[in-house]
Structure 1
Amino acid sequence: MIRVLLADDEAMVRAGVAAILATDSGIEVVAEAGDGREAIERARETRPDVALLDIRMPQLDGLEAAAEIRRLVPETAIIMLTTFGEDDYIAKALACGAGGFLLKAGDPRELLAGVRAVADGAAFLSPKVARRVIEQLSGQQLSRGARAREQVAALTDREREVLGLVGSGLSNADIAARLHVVEGTVKAYVSTIFTRLGVRNRVQAAIVAYEAGLVSG
């Protein structure tokens, strides 16, 4: 069972998201919060697998709440709920350790897929959000691409292969099955890759993989 904390200052939004999550028997909303401070308290109390946080909330916004939850309950994965017009928050959310980005007005199936993916250790970006991230990066693509290629050059062939699969959104279990190794081996590779690249989570690693040309499209 995937245990979820849902935080949004709009009760109607919380009700709608909770109703969608309730359609999956493998997902349970264990706590709700109406602001960032309350989200942190509920996370400490319930230690959920995934925290779904609205970016804009009173008292403490979702970005600050995400950073604090990651500090206090590091095993909790973070998904940010966003709307168009909040593109400037994406880079900041990455730095806070968010593993997923979903649009409030997106396909309900993306919400379920995102929660499952992030709970399984993978990264998940709504396709529309992913396009916005790529657009934001495009203006600096040449310099960033050169830097990313320099970063991955320090990796072994196997580590680059694993990084490419992380960039494609595969979980550790999926990568293990693809490479015919045990999941523990993949976890060790991923940990080493994070250290060598100087990244903190799978989303940041996926961006390096994309910029370095390890992921097509």
Structure 2
Amino acid sequence: MTTPSPIRVLIADDHPAMREGLAHAVSLEAGMQVAAQAGDGLEAVDLFREHRPNVTLIDLQMPRMNGIEAIAAIREIDRKAVIVVLTTYPGDARVMRALALGATSYLLKSSTTSEILSAIRSALDGRQVLGTDLRRDIATHAGSEQLTKRELSVLKLAAMGYGNREIGEALGVSEETIKSRIRSILGKLDASDRTHAVTLAIQRGFLEL
């Protein structure tokens, strides 16, 4: 009777203590082993290409290449790559973007070790795992209109403190066009003003600052 091959896990997180804690938990779990550890998104992509793990456990906020970009790059290497996001950052737009790029599951770092290990197994079996709060957040904004790329460009510059005229000059459009886009953004986010809109966009994951 042959012994099943262990689940090989690539762990990508820029915080050494978090990364080492996860590696320790995986190494103690029956039927799992650590394939490699990465300290940033670019290293995660390189190590995925080298080791071809069964599951990649990845943070979103990392240097050199963030987790969202790394997910996209890993999926370019292997469209069947199994990826579990483990991050501090919630937000329906952030979660949906990660899932759209190919992440199987999305967990917050407040999850217990057993929940994380269970999610790794579930993801390998093709089952999606989302925290209760994340599912509730997605449900709350289900059906709401998404911000367009042009509106996101306006919002990013607004977050940097640019006025309407400066935003218009930077994007090569009129100040009236910017005012129109701002009105659209406020309506979509149900925001009272542009500062409120920026705050909501960061919370929901439309903006990464």
Instruction: Say whether the fold is shared (TM-score over 0.5).
Output: yes
Q: How does 1:98-177 map to 2 (within 5 A)?
A: 98-137=103-142, 139=144
- Alignment match, 1:4: 9
Normalised by the length of structure 1, the TM-score is: 0.60
Task: In structure 2, list runs of 5 or more residues that go unmatched.
Answer: 1-5, 146-209
- Alignment match, 2:72: 67
Cα drift, residue 73 of structure 1: 2.2
Q: Determine the C-alpha separation between the residues in 2 that align with 1:45 and 1:25.
A: 24
**Aligned residue-pair number:** 140
- Alignment match, 2:21: 16
Deviations 1:81-137 (A, max 9, x none): 122455441121122111001111112221011000001122111223222222232
Q: Determine the C-alpha separation between the residues in 2 that align with 1:61 and 1:30.
A: 20
- Alignment match, 2:196: none
Alignment match of 2:37 (pick from 29, 32, 42) = 32
Q: State yes or no: 1:57 paired with 2:25.
A: no
Give yes or no for contact 1:50–1:119 (8 Å, CA) kept in 2.
yes
Q: How does 1:187-202 map to 2 (within 5 A)?
A: none
Normalised by the length of structure 2, the TM-score is: 0.62
Distance 1:130 1:105, change over 3 A: same
Partner SS state of residue 124, structure 1: coil
Task: In structure 1, list runs of 5 or more residues that go unmatched.
Answer: 141-217
Q: State yes or no: 1:46 paired with 2:51.
A: yes
Partner SS state of residue 98, structure 1: coil
**What RMSD, in angstroms, separates the aligned Cα atoms of the two structures?**
1.7
Q: Determine the C-alpha separation between the residues in 1 that align with 2:91 and 2:28.
A: 28
Deviations 1:121-160 (A, max 9, x none): 22111223222222232657xxxxxxxxxxxxxxxxxxxx
